[in-house]
Amino acid sequence: LRLESELRRAVGTEQLFLHFQPLVHVESGRVAGIEALLRWNNPELGSVPPDRFIPQAETCGLIVPIGRDVLRQACQTALPWLQGGHPDLLLCVNVSPRQFQDGAFLDDVRTILRETGFPAGNLELEITEGLLLKERGDIDGLLQGLHDMGVHLAIDDFGTGYSSLSYLERYPFHTLKIDRSFMIGMLERHERKVLVDTIVAMATGLGLKVIAEGVETAEQLARLRAIGCDLAQGYLFSRPVPAEQIFALLDNRF
């Protein structure tokens, strides 16, 4: 409850801010995208990890205004990166199921894109499969609406929770992000290896771009390259960092 009242007061202040982490094209080593990740620094509670405050924000509904601020802030921050010589850079933003249940979501996205001037085709919204499980309503219409706007849709943390392969057929996803838990033991454990190979092959076969999350070693990267994974993200390249550090990373060849 303390957390919730502190969070309520933090909305719209500089206590909530974004860090950014690069997504690297496995073949070329070039930065292909940047994921925005929310951070909360409270004067009394210190730095509160997102795994603690995001579920809370979802429960009490604060994730709706927070998510709106995240999207606006991310677009504002990333636009100069596109304009500064990286026109194809993808901006990846996490969206909670709770934000989708808010009837204004589609309009919010449209408004933010218009007001910031951020191109829809450079935005990728990451959605966890929990959404597709819980939400009946007009989730099809909502995802189709985003798709029609030109926004990319990614299924995040794929392979955890209640993955249903039928989601991949039913919804207009561009991208599949393999959950970072699959990177652990990926080179040692036969079963894990088979799962990663199979997810990459399946996603590729479906015409989806595949991103491996949580890549920490050069050996994992080499394996991902061998099986044709498109993009990789993880501490091997960079931790999530403040925006000021991103521009210097964009010309890196990892």
Among the listed residues 234, 243, 246, 249, the single contact to ligand G using CB under 6 A? 234
CB of 53 to ligand G, least distance (A): 9
Among the listed residues 10, 40, 122, 214, the single contact to ligand G using CB under 6 A? 214
Nearer to ligand G, 25 or 84 (CB): 25
Q: How many residues bind Na ion (CB under 5 A)?
A: 2
What are the φ/ψ torsions at residue 23 (nearest 5 degrees)? Answer: -110, 125
Is 70 one of the binding residues for ligand G (CB under 6 A)? Answer: yes
Nearer to Mn ion, 4 or 160 (CB): 160
* Residues of the chain by 3-state class (helix, strand, coil), percent to 5: 45, 25, 30
Nearer to ligand G, 71 or 82 (CB): 71
Is 156 one of the binding residues for Na ion (CB under 5 A)? Answer: yes
Among the listed residues 14, 51, 188, 244, the single contact to ligand G using CB under 6 A? 51
Distance CA 91, CA 78 (A): 7
What are the φ/ψ torsions at residue 140 (nearest 5 degrees)? Answer: -60, -45
Among the listed residues 108, 124, 156, 230, the single contact to Mn ion using CB under 5 A? 156
Nearer to ligand G, 82 or 221 (CB): 221
E strands present in the chain: 16-25, 31-42, 46-48, 90-95, 123-128, 152-158, 175-178, 209-212, 231-232, 241-242
* Phi-psi map region of 5: left, alpha, beta (phi>0 left; psi -120 to 50 alpha): alpha
Binding site for Na ion (CB under 5 A): 94, 156
